[in-house]
A and B are shown apart, each in its own frame.
Chain A
Amino acid sequence: AQSVSQHNHHVILSEAASLELGCNYSYGGTVNLFWYVQYPGQHLQLLLKYFSGDPLVKGIKGFEAEFIKSKFSFNLRKPSVQWSDTAEYFCAVNAVGAGNMLTFGGGTRLMVKP
């Protein structure tokens, strides 16, 4: 069965700092990759997704992620965070051909200090 690891459980940054959240998965076949965000008191929302094509994917609110197949990674980045980016971030993987469910990482809780 596939698994997803998010290495950073808690990250604290000051506004304008750069962000990179790690995500690694274990599955040898084709994958669809997602980052979801959960703002305080809100439900999970899609931040960006990768199905195929350009491995550098741009999402909403200035976020981007890069799929590196050789490293089984899909790290999330943002050049300059804002206080409003305070949230929990989840990486998720769908193993193509092994069901339509998503396998989620444990999440990274980001706090941005104003």
Chain B
Amino acid sequence: GAGVSQTPSNKVTEKGKYVELRCDPISGHTALYWYRQSLGQGPEFLIYFQGTGAADDSGLPNDRFFAVRPEGSVSTLKIQRTERGDSAVYLCASSPAGDTQYFGPGTRLTVL
């Protein structure tokens, strides 16, 4: 079946701009996660949704980052006033509640 998909695969933006990154989870998976992976490091947790609500957003680095999942399926990660330090691969994962997380291919964000 279809896995987790993320769009766009690559995004180049200028410092100060606003970006949206989209994640389509595996159908039927109630839990959705966002992680960020910087070069040479492992993924770092950002936010976790159970259904429509953000169950844990403790990993969001600051208030420029926000994510939504209005219908309990697709999620959008939104970054305001982007900074060069936001450049990374943003990963989305989904899972049946409390079980193994399946990752998408990621969106590579480059802030110039």
* A102 pairs with B101, CB closer than 8 A: yes
Which residues from A are CB-within-8-Å of B91? Answer: 43-44
Which residues from A are CB-within-8-Å of B31? Answer: 100
* B103 pairs with A36, CB closer than 8 A: yes
Which residues from B are CB-within-8-Å of A102? Answer: 33, 35, 43, 45, 101
Q: How large is the interface on B (under 10, 10 to 19, 20 to 34, 35 or more residues)?
A: 20 to 34
- Could you name 27 residue pairs across A and B whose Cβ atoms are closer than 8 Å? A4-B42, A34-B100, A42-B105, A43-B91, A43-B103, A43-B105, A43-B106, A44-B43, A44-B103, A46-B100, A90-B42, A90-B43, A99-B56, A100-B31, A100-B50, A100-B95, A101-B56, A101-B59, A102-B45, A103-B45, A104-B35, A104-B42, A104-B43, A104-B44, A106-B41, A107-B40, A107-B41
Residues of A within 8 A of B (CB): 4, 6, 34, 36, 42-46, 49, 90, 92, 99-107
Cα-based distance from A77 to B45 in the complex (angstroms): 26
Which residues from A are CB-within-8-Å of B48? Answer: 99-101
Q: Which of A49, A92, A104, A106 has the most CB of B within 10 A?
A: A104
CB of B44, distance to nearest CB on chain A (Å): 7
Which residues from B are CB-within-8-Å of A105? Answer: 42
* A100 pairs with B55, CB closer than 8 A: yes
| B1 on interface, CB distance cutoff 8 Å | no
* A49 pairs with B43, CB closer than 8 A: no
Which residues from B are CB-within-8-Å of A45? Answer: 103
Name B59's closest neighbour in chain A (CB-CB).
A101
| B66 on interface, CB distance cutoff 8 Å | no
| B98 on interface, CB distance cutoff 8 Å | yes
